[in-house]
Amino acid sequence: METGRPAHRHYGMDWLRIGAFQLLILYHVGMAFVPWAFSVKMTPPIDWTVVPMFLTNPWRLSLLFVVSGFASAALFARSPSVGALMRSRLARLGIPLLFGMAVIVTPQPWVELVTQHGYSHGFGYFLLHDYYRPQAIDGVIVPTYMHLWFVVYLLAYTLLWGALLTLPGAWKERAKRVAERSLAGPALLPIGITAFFCIHNFVSPGWSDTHLFVNDWSAHLDYFSAFLFGILLRHSHPVRAAVARWWKIAGIAALLGWAYLAWAELAYPGDARLSYALSLLYRIARSTEAWGAIVALIGLAETHWNHDSKWRPMLAEAVFPFYIVHQTLILVVGYWLLSTPTTGLERFLILVVATFAGCWLFYLIGRNIAPLRPLIGLKRQTATKPVSAGHVLV
């Protein structure tokens, strides 16, 4: 990995980062309706909803780590040293993580316990007597980080990358040249698809992350590789050029992969099992969609989105606060909706509007109260220098 520090800002990757996190929020809203496990479920589940969910399911998290790696490399370009960068990231990620675990996510395990495990106590009792006492209640571990596992993993990968940055410059340059020779040509697509397939079929079966840091091996190989790929993108013009050259083909491959997944989910719903041949095609299609979509979206960012807007700085700053609070809003509003005579469509629309409105309220209030800024992942304000929203990156 190169330690050279390009000064230009890539607005396309900013827009991709903003869009990726908003898609994740919509995906988590959708999780309340599909037959898959989630902390609050609208009943009965709607089987066909897995088809639109698979438009993002195979690649949404990997893409988040790619854009986070790119953003981390951009931060390093402005940092005086590796040590300074690591101290900054510990504060900017660690403080919101602790605040989130102590305050923001607390309703989430309570909603899951009440709706899925018959927990009979109110939220106040849960906080005072159960949440802060380390234990497992019907398999639900408390205290917990819930969706903030992403921050835990990102913090760990950032620290590991910091250790790699201390390696001799010749080693890092050699690693960069090897990566460029592999990815800056026609092998870009087959290498990525093969990597996804091998990680999620030979390291551990399937694509289900445990979100338990100590044993989530396939997730670590996937997400840390994605994080490093994002760093490489920041420093490698040949790789970005290859992505720009191949993104249309990658997009077509991703759509074909999604089409097969959609057909398989509709033709073999629920617990119906595919034959070995169809199952193998399913896993290949999922890997193809995953890498194809990532390359296609980065290619779009590289070729069409690399321009600024007056809204970009604020939207870029809002990403992390949105992420911190969004799932709590989904679960709390979803829990309330269970007691209302609303239809599935009405519940979906209410969840979308309430979640985004709540995210905006959380961000706008937090950004203007100085003591809250570091708790929600924003830079501290100083009396002499205003915070540049455009430089706030997850």
Task: Give the pLDDT mean for 201-208.
Answer: 80
Any idea which of 113-117, 214-218, 352-356 has the lowest mean pLDDT? 214-218
Q: At what angle do helices 169-183 and 188-198 cross, to 10 degrees?
A: 100
Closest CA to 58 of 246, 242, 230, 260: 260
Looking at the DSSP bridge assignments, the partners of residue 137 are 140
Residue 362 predicted with pLDDT over 50: yes
- 279-317 burial, b at 16+ Cβ within 10 Å, e below that, comes to eebbbbbbbbbbbbbbbbbbbbbbeebbeeeeebbebbb
pLDDT mean across residues, the chain: 93
Lookup result for tokens 């830079």? 379
pLDDT for 221-232, tens place per residue?
Answer: 999 999 999 999
Residue 390 predicted with pLDDT over 80: no
Quick one: pLDDT at residue 6?
A: 46
Confidence of residue 209 (pLDDT cuts 50, 70, 90): confident
Lookup result for tokens 């929020």? 25
Quick one: pLDDT at residue 45?
A: 87
Closest CA to 17 of 360, 351, 363, 318: 318
Closest CA to 294 of 5, 2, 66, 4: 66
Distance from C-alpha of 168 to C-alpha of 212, rounded to nearest angstrom: 32
Task: Give the pLDDT mean for 132-143.
Answer: 96
Confidence of residue 247 (pLDDT cuts 50, 70, 90): very high
Any idea which of 7-21, 109-123, 177-191, 234-248 has the lowest mean pLDDT? 7-21
Furthest C-alpha separation in the chain: 66
| CB-facing half-sphere around the CA of 72: CA atoms within 13 A | 34
Whether 3 and 172 have beta carbons less than 8 Å apart is answered as yes
Residue 385 predicted with pLDDT over 50: no
Looking at the DSSP bridge assignments, the partners of residue 142 are 135
Distance from C-alpha of 49 to C-alpha of 66, rounded to nearest angstrom: 27
Dihedral sign for Cα atoms in the order 95, 99, 102, 106: negative
Task: Give the pLDDT mean for 352-356.
Answer: 98
Our CA dihedral for 135, 137, 142, 147, rounded to 10 degrees, sits at: 150
Percent of the residues in the chain that have a pLDDT greater than 90, as a whole number? 86
pLDDT for 278-329, tens place per residue?
Answer: 999 999 999 999 999 999 999 999 999 999 999 999 999 999 999 999 999 9
Confidence of residue 386 (pLDDT cuts 50, 70, 90): very low
Quick one: pLDDT at residue 289?
A: 98
Looking at the DSSP bridge assignments, the partners of residue 135 are 142
Percent of the residues in the chain that have a pLDDT greater than 70, as a whole number? 94
Quick one: pLDDT at residue 393?
A: 54
Quick one: pLDDT at residue 3?
A: 41
Any idea which of 136-145, 181-190, 262-271 has the lowest mean pLDDT? 262-271
Expressed in percent and rounded to 5, the helix, strand and coil fractions of the chain are: 70, 0, 30
Task: Give the pLDDT mean for 141-146.
Answer: 97
pLDDT for 35-80, tens place per residue?
Answer: 999 999 998 888 899 999 999 999 999 999 999 999 999 999 888 8
Residue 383 predicted with pLDDT over 70: no
Distance from C-alpha of 95 to C-alpha of 80, rounded to nearest angstrom: 22
Residue 391 predicted with pLDDT over 50: no
Confidence of residue 269 (pLDDT cuts 50, 70, 90): confident
Whether 358 and 325 have beta carbons less than 8 Å apart is answered as yes
Closest CA to 109 of 64, 150, 148: 148
| CB-facing half-sphere around the CA of 140: CA atoms within 13 A | 23
Amino acid letter, residue 346: E
String of DSSP letters for 27-74: HHHHTTTSSS--SS--SS--GGGHHHHTTTTTTHHHHHHHHHHHHHHH
Confidence of residue 178 (pLDDT cuts 50, 70, 90): very high
